[in-house]
Amino acid sequence: MAVSPFPFTEHKSVELDNINNEAVFSAAYFVDERKPMNFPVKTIVLLASLVLASAASAARPECDVAADLYNQQVENVAEKMAAYRQCFAESEGNDDCAKEFKRLRSAQDDLESAVGDVQNYCY
């Protein structure tokens, strides 16, 4: 498998880890700085911070899947392009290579969809 030109999973993981840390530290700061808070308020604040951290972590697998699909589609387009070039090289003007072009066009459509998924889930 080829190496991704865009390491989406690493970028998103670091970003989400920072969000998780900020949410937990913000909640902890709020609880520590407000001495007269009663137990139910502290509990609500801590539960809210856990929900925020869970929501940020839940987005990570979607980005990972989108990035993997993108990488697969890039490879697929490259394979279809190679087949299209090979058809012309071997046809010597006897084949318009429409079948190969149709497969390339389909691979490009799949790649465009994968790019949309990366934009939706990773940024």
More confident residue, 107 or 93: 107
Per-residue pLDDT reduced to its tens digit, 45-66: 555 555 555 455 455 899 999 9
For tokens 């509990």, name the residue: 43
How much is the pTM?
Answer: 0.54
Check residue 123 and give its pLDDT: 87
Who wins on pLDDT, 45 or 72? Answer: 72
Burial 60-92 (b: 16+ CB within 10 A, else e): beebbebbebbbebbebbeebeebbeebeeeee
